[in-house]
Amino acid sequence: MRIAVIGAGIVGVSSAYELAEDGHEVTVFERHSSVAGEASFANGGVIAPGHVAPWAAPGMPSRLLRDCFGKDPLMRVRPTLDVARWRWLWRWWRASRAAAYQQHRGELLRLTQYSRDRLRDLSTRLKFEFERTQGLLVLLRTDQDVAAAQSALALLRELGTPFREVDRAACHALEPGMNRDQALAGGIHFAQAEAGNCRQFAHLLREAAERLNVEFHFGTVVKAISPGEGGQGPRVQVEQMALTTGFVSSRAGPNNAPATQTTAHRARAAARYLDPVSQEHFDAVVIAAGADAGDLLAPLGLRLPIQPLYGYSLTAPLRSPERGPKAALIDERHQVTFSRLGQRVRVAGGAELGGSLERHRRGGVEALYRRLDDWFPGAAHIAKPQVWKGARPMLPDGPPLVGPAPQAGVWLNLGHGHAGWALACGSARLLADLIGGRKPAFDPAALDVGRYRAASRG
């Protein structure tokens, strides 16, 4: 089949790779000049099946209300007249009830485990070398935090997820660079979890996809998708913004891409640049457009409750290799992650509903510096860090949508929220199996758009 993938974040690149591996002819459209230019750029990097839980959790709505009135600078909901956001919040509140939460957590766990295994398999098979570490330590500051974690641990036991409760001394043994003066009651250690550089992985996977003849069209905005007609599949209308280096070099590098194909690809690139607006039919179209996926689907009659939930990261070089974290950590109270990326440390967190990608809120970024100072004071050169803001593509309830859209030939791989890196490889493999008519590794019914169709009709 000829398949278009819209979006070259970690989800789009993974989808393109898996589809190409199955023998499809794949074209990726991306408005940025390379892969992983948005939410997949500098995320926390954590891949932890045991710790991936819906944001819609019991107690979260009241916590959000409390924190919005100034207690925690990392949490903000901007007041709005936007009906879509209120609807989203209503659905989120309903999904945070205990029974729904447990169900969604179980579904996320299954997908994250599958995804982590797929990522490991791909990395080994394709000999990928990227910044990654093994293990995750969840830090619990007080006895109250330890007590509050117990219900989540009971659920993990029920779901058969391996973890180890550790005391303060064991936490320091696992992370010798951690501040001994910081209050710490204990922790939870997930030995099977890992952290890795999502952006690096996406670049490696892009190269692997190009070796399978995937065409990447960078600097290209998809303006509209129209349903198929007259025996043809859906039509994709694009506007070429610029003839970027990435665009031209796509497919040109690898030796196994025949010269004629490379030339043809370049010719098509140049033609599109001269005639920027063009349209093309495909047998299938995969929407992997992150937080903006809703804009492409609404004109097709599918109104999905997807909202950007903004967060920040700062990445700074370590003063010496033995300082800073050895692996990944999460400050559970503040929901801030620390990950070791080569000789750098990345601190990520924050949850802002409303606002924009461009406007950095000072309080949000400063709070990350404070958390770094709590746990690893003086460990990093913080004079010139990379400060980044990203938009998590959030559905109100938790699990992403992976599978067919109601419109023939349109497929969804979106709404991966705060765990898109952890979920990408598995979601992509599931989607490729569904498109190819093969039995997926597990029943993906929970990821079907059916759960939102009532909303799109309403």
Ligand X SMILES: Cc1cc2nc3c(=O)[nH]c(=O)nc-3n(C[C@H](O)[C@H](O)[C@H](O)COP(=O)(O)OP(=O)(O)OC[C@H]3O[C@@H](n4cnc5c(N)ncnc54)[C@H](O)[C@@H]3O)c2cc1C
Q: Based on CB atoms, which residue is closest to ligand X, 73 or 290? A: 290
Q: How far, in Å, are 17, 28, 34 from residue 249 at the CA level?
A: 18, 14, 11
Report DSSP letters for 89-131, one per residue: HHHHHHHTSHHHHHHHHHHHHHHHHHHHHHHHHHHHHTT----
Residue range at the interface with ligand X (CB under 6 A); choices 38-46, 145-153, 363-371, 434-442:
38-46
If DSSP codes are grouped into helix, strand and coil, which group holds residue 13?
Answer: helix
The yes or no reply on residue 329 touching ligand X (CB under 6 A) is no
The yes or no reply on residue 436 touching ligand X (CB under 6 A) is no
Question: Element (H or E) spanning 28, and its range?
Answer: strand 25-29
Do residues 225 and 237 touch, judged by C-beta distance below 8 A?
Answer: yes
The yes or no reply on residue 430 touching ligand X (CB under 6 A) is no
| Nearest approach, Cβ of residue 377 and ligand X (Å) | 22
The yes or no reply on residue 189 touching ligand X (CB under 6 A) is no
The yes or no reply on residue 294 touching ligand X (CB under 6 A) is no
Q: Based on CB atoms, which residue is closest to ligand X, 149 or 347? A: 347
Tell which one of 4, 5, 11, 75 touches ligand X (CB under 6 A). Answer: 11
Residue range at the interface with ligand X (CB under 6 A); choices 35-43, 99-107, 129-137, 361-369:
35-43
How many residues interact with ligand X (rule CB under 6 A)? 41
Question: Element (H or E) spanning 64, and its range?
Answer: helix 60-66
Residue range at the interface with ligand X (CB under 6 A); choices 100-108, 184-192, 309-317, 366-374:
309-317
Tell which one of 8, 56, 75, 300 touches ligand X (CB under 6 A). Answer: 8
Residue range at the interface with ligand X (CB under 6 A); choices 8-16, 97-105, 114-122, 205-213:
8-16
Q: How far, in Å, are 9, 89, 365 from residue 393 at the CA level?
A: 11, 14, 20
Q: How far, in Å, are 200, 314, 323, 457 from residue 341 at the CA level?
A: 11, 12, 13, 45
- Give the contacts of 381 (CB within 8 A, at least 6 positions apart): 316, 317, 318, 319
The yes or no reply on residue 197 touching ligand X (CB under 6 A) is no
The yes or no reply on residue 390 touching ligand X (CB under 6 A) is yes
The yes or no reply on residue 421 touching ligand X (CB under 6 A) is yes
| Nearest approach, Cβ of residue 217 and ligand X (Å) | 9
In the range 334-373, which residues lie near ligand X by CB under 6 A?
A: 337, 348
| Nearest approach, Cβ of residue 438 and ligand X (Å) | 23
Residue 53, both tokens: 């839980």
Residue 449, both tokens: 């758009």
Q: Based on CB atoms, which residue is closest to ligand X, 196 or 440? A: 196
Residue 280, both tokens: 């093309």
Q: Based on CB atoms, which residue is closest to ligand X, 174 or 414? A: 414
Closest CA to 428 of 109, 199, 205: 205
The yes or no reply on residue 422 touching ligand X (CB under 6 A) is yes
| 390 vs 31: CA distance, rounded Å | 16
Q: For strands 410-414 and 336-341, give the pairing.
A: unpaired
Q: Based on CB atoms, which residue is closest to ligand X, 139 or 419? A: 419
Do residues 243 and 263 touch, judged by C-beta distance below 8 A?
Answer: no
The yes or no reply on residue 131 touching ligand X (CB under 6 A) is no
The yes or no reply on residue 290 touching ligand X (CB under 6 A) is yes
Query: For binding to ligand X (CB under 6 A), which residues are involved?
Result: 6-12, 29-32, 37-40, 43-46, 221-222, 288-290, 292, 296, 311-313, 337, 348, 390, 392-393, 416-422
